[in-house]
Amino acid sequence: MVCGKRSGAAMLEMKNFPMTEIYTREVCKQKLGVLDQGFFVCRHCGHGQLGRVIDVKLQYGNYHFRSGQSVTGQQSAKFFIDYLDKFIADKKLDLVVEIGCNDLYLLKLISKRAKKLVGIDPILKGREKELSENNVIAQGGYLEDVSLQGSPDLFICKDTLEHVANPKDFLKKVIDQGHSETLFAFQFPLLDTLLDAGRFDQIFHQHLNYFSMHSIKVVLEDLGCELVDFTINHNLWGSIIIIFRKAAGRKKTKAFSLITRKDVMSRYKVFRMNMEVTKQRLSFLKGKNVYGYGAALMLPVLDYHLDGAIGRLTCIMDDDINKKGLRYINLDVDIKPMNEVHDLERSAVILTAIASLYNVRAMLSKLSQHGPRQIIVPLNTL
């Protein structure tokens, strides 16, 4: 999807890979949205992408994540704004547009920095009036549905690019709306950090694209843009924030090394070893109560890599009272608040929300106060 050349064979093949991020009120015995998935890394431009795409109607039919309500969402917004301020603090901004703005949490935090801020997201449809506030305007829909009335000085796009089927087309549409000095601030997961940390559990059906430093450079140059700066949030899946603008004959971005098949496979081997150790440790606890902690959106993926070990836990504890009584599709296990579990001191707990290190650290600290007999962390990176 970036350089237009054939990528070569799949690096990883995931048979019967389950759909994640969907909770339900019913016990769901039937597997849903399960299909053979492949992970490809282009040998020409180092871009990672999935081989197959699940219909987006299933993907976003009941999306629960709201940025403002989660610790990770709040912390990552703060990181994003602190970084963004380096580039906009001394600028007068007339119009800021955020694509995929979720519940407008970020725009409301920076509402004093611009005259008008427009948030665009299909999840806002029908709730525009209720959510708009002073100079922050909600627009339900996609970028192409909205008339912006002016060219933005700043485009923000956070945690969206990885979900887009054709990222180059999408970027082009956004860039076309900007003027010569518009800044574009995009955040998305970075393949280089995924590999450094051996986090193959961060590959899932909803993330269609896995940009590497090399493929970012290729796509920006192709679209006539230059990378102004970037930073990496190591607490949030090693996501990258890039700042870019139209190049207009300015300097070329420096070179980044290309990811090879050998890089991917050596890290995958370590990931598999990690999963194997966790699986075996859990198998020693057979017949005893073992609780999961954290009913994370992506838990069915971890369960997949642990060959069903999560589905055999006593239950998953979660601090979010709204998740009580909910269930996953593709993972048959109860979710309960921690205060409904009465034998924690005599039990083992496995940390099951491991996507963001913000979460992992906070949860370990909370869990330690309850003194479980042992805490298992499936990927031993803290």
**Site residues for Zn ion per CB under 5 A:** 2-3, 42, 44-45, 47
**Residue closer to Zn ion (CB basis): 101 or 190:** 190
Q: How far is the CB of 159 from Zn ion (least distance, A)?
A: 23
- How many angstroms separate the Cα of 206 from the Cα of each of 72, 218, 348? 19, 23, 32
Half-sphere exposure of 287 (CA within 13 A, CB side): 1
The pairing of strands 209-210 and 136-140 is: unpaired
**Residue closer to Zn ion (CB basis): 47 or 199:** 47
DSSP state of 253: P
Q: How far is the CB of 300 from Zn ion (least distance, A)?
A: 30
**Residue closer to Zn ion (CB basis): 79 or 210:** 210
Asked if 41 contacts 264 with a C-beta cutoff of 8 angstroms, the reply is yes
**Residue closer to Zn ion (CB basis): 197 or 259:** 259
> Phi/psi at 195 (nearest 5 deg)?
-70, -40
**Residue closer to Zn ion (CB basis): 10 or 81:** 10
Asked if 155 contacts 134 with a C-beta cutoff of 8 angstroms, the reply is no
Q: How far is the CB of 31 from Zn ion (least distance, A)?
A: 33
Q: How far is the CB of 271 from Zn ion (least distance, A)?
A: 24
Query: Nearest CA to 71 among 368, 277, 361, 352?
Result: 361
**Residue closer to Zn ion (CB basis): 45 or 136:** 45
The pairing of strands 136-140 and 335-336 is: unpaired
Q: How far is the CB of 176 from Zn ion (least distance, A)?
A: 23
Q: How far is the CB of 93 from Zn ion (least distance, A)?
A: 35
Asked if 133 contacts 155 with a C-beta cutoff of 8 angstroms, the reply is no
Task: Report which residue's Cβ sits closest to Zn ion.
Answer: 42
Asked if 200 contacts 88 with a C-beta cutoff of 8 angstroms, the reply is no
Question: Would you mind telling me the total number of residues written for the chain in this entry?
Answer: 382
Q: How far is the CB of 48 from Zn ion (least distance, A)?
A: 10
**Residue closer to Zn ion (CB basis): 42 or 354:** 42
DSSP-assigned states of every residue in 20-73: -S-EESS---S--S-EEEEEEE-TTT--EEES----HHHHTTT----GGGSHHH
